[in-house]
Structure 1
Amino acid sequence: MDALVRTYQQFEMLIPAPTGAGAQHRGEDGRFVEDLVREYLSRFLPKGLEVLTGFILRPAVKTGENGVERRTDTDQHSTQLDIVIFDSGVYPIFQRFGNSVIVPPEGVIAIISVKKHLNDGDVQNECEKLFSAATLCQTLGSNDRNDKVRGPYLALVSVRSNIDKTRTDTLNWIFSKIQAAYTGKMDATFDKFVGFVGALDEWSIFKRRPPATPTAAEYVGFKHQAGESHLGLQFLITGILSVYYDNTRKDMRRPGFTAFPSGRPHDKNLGSIPCTGLR
């Protein structure tokens, strides 16, 4: 994680902006951050998972052998997504050009919004976009049973936080914006709520594991201390692998891969957001 941040800092120094933070070419600056996060995630994920960018397309076609659950639907697609982690070892891709793709929802394991600097207006806006993309990914399990597979892991990631520093409690304010993103949403299930929001070198907000029949999603906050820069990346990898190895998707045991400091409590109970069920 430290190496990722240093690599971005080097990019800023090599292509400096005349004024303000960041590199001179803002568009390239943002794309460089996306590429960095994709590169670092790719190092730690199973070979069958690709870390891509692009769109999710949910066509109104038959699924499984006789699945006609979309017979009253129309074709739907997402907005452009910064990072889509896709199980291309199992599922096909509609279109590919380099790392830019259009993919069906069944193989989407995670959707990540990436910001170079997280600003005040980003939190609610990006959580709403992730909710819409996750809604497209509600799919049934195998053999045309009426069971839904676990939805993709959802995250909002930034290298640095530009959230107004004058606020007395940044984490509580950010959580209020997460809550606002889901107010009034129909079919607001646990799976469609963001799982992680964080400035990788500063703080993390994490959605806790649910009970079997959740009525709310609980969130906790961590302020990264010295030597804890790994927490954000660990949360991301843990969430992605938990979806990939979930028993609704794969019949294999999840490996013991990520680990957190023993006895490290979270710094804040941020609160809960009511949900209509698990998925």
Structure 2
Amino acid sequence: MDGKRIQDYWSSEVDALVRTYQQFETLIPAPQGAGAAHRGEDGRFVEDLLREYLTRHLPNGLEVLTGFILRPAVKTGESGKERKAEMDSHSKQLDIIIFDSGNYPVFQRFGNSVIVPPEGVVGVISVKKHLNDGDVKKECAALFEAATLCETLASNDRNDKVRGPYLAIVSVRSNIEKIKTDVLDWVFTSTQEAYAGQSGVTFDKLVGFIGALDEWSIFKRRPAKTLIEAEYVGFKHQHGESHLGLQFLLTGILSVFYDETRRNMRRPGYTAFPSGRAHDKKLGAVPCKLLR
């Protein structure tokens, strides 16, 4: 197989993304050290930059947003009451939410900031300007929580679940310093520690990608037919391999979006009527004999 043109294309895209960020640092430099003068704006610029690149390359029905996932404890599908023992719950603020707005409604929207139901969430990405020592465990925990909120059934009322959203931690550069081993080994060990002791761990709830776009990538491989563990592999980007990180992201998001469990869509939990509220008056009926 070839694909060299595609690899070169994605490498150019990543190189352009990194250069754009470097230009931001040049124009708004920090008085001391690397980065821009205002850390908050620096981080938001990186999020905006990644959102722009993902939006450019994802299908029109997918939006790249920021905000919260709200899981209301209401009926889903036609008569699904799988949430009857739950309470309304929501995520922390998430840097990037890949949302299927072509098929699912949004609770609230203000620009790119949204509150969305879990059924339409295709991906969740934590974005860091520089990936620091404490970020891996913290972001894995936040992504696990978001993925748990997104556990939903398929279109019918059986107990088969749809494939969960793609989860990723993305940085422009790695700033991990407290290591005595290889950076890939250190990050993977931190990933293992993030899930140690967690209950309800499934393959879908484990982070799918961690990487510094132009330096290295850690990728969760496809599950084996007999699933007993999630296998991760690492890549140190060689010359001309800056395409790896962005390709892993796009491949993961699209694999969820096109997964067969998501093609027959389940109606989201979106409305909530008072339990036991009777109608005030029976008005009558209009004759009809055909459904459509």
Scaled by the length of structure 2, what TM-score is found? Answer: 0.85
Q: In structure 1, what is the Cα distance between the partners aligned to 2:36 and 2:23?
A: 10
Shift of 1:242: 0.3
Paired residues in the alignment total 251
The reply to whether residue 142 of structure 1 matches residue 155 of structure 2 is yes
- Structure that is richer in strand per residue: 1
Q: In structure 1, what is the Cα distance between the partners aligned to 2:39 and 2:85?
A: 43
The reply to whether residue 87 of structure 1 matches residue 100 of structure 2 is yes
Equivalent position of 1:64 in the other structure: 77
Residue among 233, 242, 245 paired with 1:229: 242
Residue among 2, 6, 21 paired with 1:8: 21
Unaligned runs of 5+ in 1: 252-279
What is the CA RMSD across the aligned residues, in angstroms? 0.9
Shift of 1:97: 0.1
1:191 is paired with a residue whose SS is coil
User: Quick one: higher RCO (CA 8 Å, sep 6+), 1 or 2?
Assistant: 2
User: Structure 1, residues 179-212: CA drift from partner, whole Å, max 9, x if none?
Assistant: 0110011110000000000000100000000023
Residue among 84, 109, 127 paired with 2:140: 127
Residue among 118, 135, 139 paired with 1:105: 118
The reply to whether residue 53 of structure 1 matches residue 80 of structure 2 is no
Letter of the 1:73 counterpart: E
Equivalent position of 2:204 in the other structure: 191
Q: In structure 2, what is the Cα distance between the partners aligned to 1:117 and 1:151?
A: 27
Q: In structure 2, what is the Cα distance between the partners aligned to 1:244 and 1:250?
A: 8
Shift of 1:213: 4.1
Q: In structure 1, what is the Cα distance between the partners aligned to 2:255 and 2:248?
A: 10
Letter of the 1:113 counterpart: S
Letter of the 1:97 counterpart: F
User: Structure 1, residues 116-166: CA drift from partner, whole Å, max 9, x if none?
Assistant: 000000001100110011000000001212110000000000000001176
Letter of the 1:136 counterpart: L
Letter of the 1:69 counterpart: E
Q: In structure 2, what is the Cα distance between the partners aligned to 1:76 and 1:15?
A: 39
Check whether the contact 2:179–2:186 (CA below 8 A) recurs between aligned residues: no
Letter of the 1:103 counterpart: V
Residue among 153, 158, 168 paired with 1:155: 168
Q: In structure 1, what is the Cα distance between the partners aligned to 2:228 and 2:203?
A: 8
Scaled by the length of structure 1, what TM-score is found? Answer: 0.89
Q: In structure 1, what is the Cα distance between the partners aligned to 2:242 and 2:131?
A: 17
Structure 1 ranges of 4+ moved more than 3 A? none
User: Structure 1, residues 200-251: CA drift from partner, whole Å, max 9, x if none?
Assistant: 0100000000023411000000000000111100000000000000010027
The reply to whether residue 246 of structure 1 matches residue 262 of structure 2 is no
Equivalent position of 2:8 in the other structure: none
Q: In structure 2, what is the Cα distance between the partners aligned to 1:232 and 1:100?
A: 25
Equivalent position of 1:201 in the other structure: 214
Letter of the 2:97 counterpart: V
Residue identity over aligned pairs, in percent, reads: 77
2:164 is paired with a residue whose SS is coil
Unaligned runs of 5+ in 2: 1-13, 265-292
